[in-house]
A and B are shown apart, each in its own frame.
Chain A
Amino acid sequence: MSQTTTAPTPAKSASLTRFLPSLSGMGAKLPGMAKSAGITLASMLLFLLVWQLSATYLYNVEAKSRIDRVMTEQGAAEAEKMKACIASGDISCKPNTLPSPSEVVKASSLLLADHRVISADKAAFKAKTAAVNAQRKAQGLDLITYTGRPSFVDQIFTSLKTVAVGFLIALFIAVPIGIIIGLNENLRTAFNWFIQVFKPVSPVVWLLLVFMIVKTLTLGSDSDTSFLISAVSVGLCSMWATLVNTSVGVSSVNQDYLNVAKVLKLGIGKKIFKVILPSAIPLIFTGLRITVSVAWMVLIAIELLAQSPGLGSFVWEEFQNGANDSNAKIIVAMFVIGFIGFLLDRVMYYIQQSVSFEKALA
């Protein structure tokens, strides 16, 4: 994080200046941080090395099989030509396998350049149609919208939007139901089989179920249902952890706290909001954190199947496409997916820290 973002908070800078004079006193802590940073860096380098070596190995295997095949089918002369072609790095005969780190870096800059081109195109389109659209709006006609191909960055934001809506669906279903069944043992028993049976169902099946229902419900409307289908499916797949954790958190409030509420004769509302919920919050948030990671994980598979735009369909299209840099683009998507998943978890962790009375486990 850059210095400019931390500077405006006075509390932080105050603690920083307090920290500086006693830097010698922190001697024991500083090498520890340097050490863990060093270990992380070293393991990253090792990872890149292993990746590079395996990519080279797979490249060689692929190249050899290609040459051998030409040899058996077309003879030695053609095989020599093939060998030379592969050595020259020409795209037409490039062995298609696990891309090396440098190819992935190249692919990511290509994707960014592509994004700039598309954005510029979009802006130009917008400028061009602005006047027409204003007119159409006045006449009550449908606006002319950009229908070009979305860029990689657009796909990321579409995926984030889908996962956010899915998460909110999970939140608004799982937390209230969790609280209600947590408060009542009979309801808990009644819901138990339901949770146990539907929790392990695969995202694909949820998607099909949602598809069946949404298809019927939106009969006659020509709106795009794929976004809705994937968001609802993500919500349904990921809500279980929150549902279970909320009901456990609410039902397992420390008996001592409940006794306090009883002795004080707290009303039911006060009892829930002053005693039960605060005590259940750490568990609820642990559930929400799991929900976010599950939502992000199943999102890719669901987008891929529902053919709604997003990172999942990006990966699938690249795989189907089979261009010579497709593999590298898939690996770029893999890193982006992983990194965003990590960021989402961190965000949830900090929210959890700020609302919970306990220190959550990292």
Chain B
Amino acid sequence: MSTPIIEFRNVSKWYGEGDNKTEVLSNINLKIEEGEFLAIVGFTGSGKTTLVNMMTGLVSPSEGEVLYRGEPITGPAPERGIIFQNYSLLPWFTVYQNVALAVNEIYPDWPKDKRDEHIRKFIEMVNLTPASEKRPKELSGGMKQRTSIARVLATDPDLLLMDEPLGALDALTRGNLQEEILKIWSANRRTAVLITNDVDEGIFMADRIIPLEPGEKSGLGPEYKIELARPRNKKALNTDPHFKKVRTSILNYLVQLGEAAKLERNQDLALPDLEPIQPGTRSFGWLRRAS
């Protein structure tokens, strides 16, 4: 087998020292192969942002190592592009200028018209050509995220990291963008890593799903291979036996995780036997108490 594009070797990450030490991720071993679409399903506080930041190089592991094509990652590099949930567009630039900022940085030697053509190509790819002169304030959430996708793709990364890219969007826009990202991804089959808290999004988009355990000292859960033919169709999937099987087994795994974390309750508290009185109709409330 060829060298994986990303490899985690016994990686742990903690913040603080001594009494204040909180271990976020514990003993992570993971290989991401060239050209695959991996989804990591994680929940609030499970350390998924730390995980993705170790792949970009913004955070370094406390123990173990993270390798990019066999070499340890020392810092951020344009070959590993990232899309954030909050779009991170510069509000005083138009769509075109936001994309141009990245392109000019990566390809400073290109002639001006070649850069221009390149920028327009990617804006077209995310269907934003009519809005290319608009500023982020005038764009909907979906359009903003398209802009940030265009910006990342225009720098031609080997690895596309997505940290809950669609988390802030409504269901309909979310569905549409999932399909668009898949279409763009299928066109050149870059390696993609999607961090999400939505199991269905993971199943629809990825080749492989790995859940991240919730809470401190998160480790990776069992991996689930999604062997559904591409292109995928949401409606057709719902009746696909493999889809049902894999979805049910992932959800069962998560339900069982949730049950383990259930809170203590039922202290046999008694509820006073009282009838509610609607405010405004309670003028004789004091009489009742007196009697």
Contact = CB atoms under 8 A, between A and B. Distances in A.
A25 B14 CA distance: 13
B17 A265 contact: no
A4 interface: no
Nearest to A265: B279
Interface in B232-291: 278-280
Interface string A9-45: 0000000000000101111100000000000000000
B280 A25 contact: no
A22 B16 CA distance: 12
A265 B280 contact: yes
Contacts of B278: 265
A25 B16 contact: yes
Contact of B18 (A25, A264, A265): A25
A256 to B, nearest CB: 19
B279 A27 contact: no
Interface string B1-33: 000000000000000111111000000000000
B276 to A, nearest CB: 12
Contacts of A24: 17-18
A22 B280 contact: no
Interface in A248-286: 264-265
A25 B279 contact: no
B33 to A, nearest CB: 37
Nearest to B21: A25
Nearest to A21: B19
A26 to B, nearest CB: 8
Helix, strand, loop or mixed for chain B's interface?
Answer: loop
Interface residues of A, number: 8
B19 A22 contact: yes
Interface residues of B, number: 9
B18 A22 contact: yes
A25 B279 CA distance: 56
A28 B17 contact: yes
Nearest to A24: B18
A27 B17 CA distance: 8
Nearest to A266: B279
Interface in B127-157: none
A265 B276 CA distance: 14
Contacts of B18: 22, 24-26
A269 to B, nearest CB: 13
Contact of B19 (A25, A28, A265): A25
A22 B20 contact: yes
A25 B18 CA distance: 5
A206 B17 CA distance: 58
Contacts of B280: 265
A25 B19 CA distance: 7
A295 to B, nearest CB: 37
B19 to A, nearest CB: 5
A22 B18 CA distance: 7
Nearest to B17: A25
A27 B19 CA distance: 12
Nearest to B278: A265
Contacts of B20: 22, 25
Nearest to B279: A265
Nearest to A264: B279
A21 to B, nearest CB: 8
Contacts of A27: 17
B72 to A, nearest CB: 23
A28 B16 CA distance: 8
A264 to B, nearest CB: 8
A265 B278 CA distance: 9
A265 B280 CA distance: 8
Contacts of B17: 24-25, 27-28
Contacts of A264: 279
Contacts of A28: 16-17
A24 B16 CA distance: 11
Given A25-B18, A25-B20, A27-B17, 15 more contacts: A22-B18, A22-B19, A22-B20, A24-B18, A25-B16, A25-B17, A25-B19, A25-B21, A26-B18, A28-B16, A28-B17, A264-B279, A265-B278, A265-B279, A265-B280
19 contacts: A22-B18, A22-B19, A22-B20, A24-B17, A24-B18, A25-B16, A25-B17, A25-B18, A25-B19, A25-B20, A25-B21, A26-B18, A27-B17, A28-B16, A28-B17, A264-B279, A265-B278, A265-B279, A265-B280
Interface of B: 16-21, 278-280
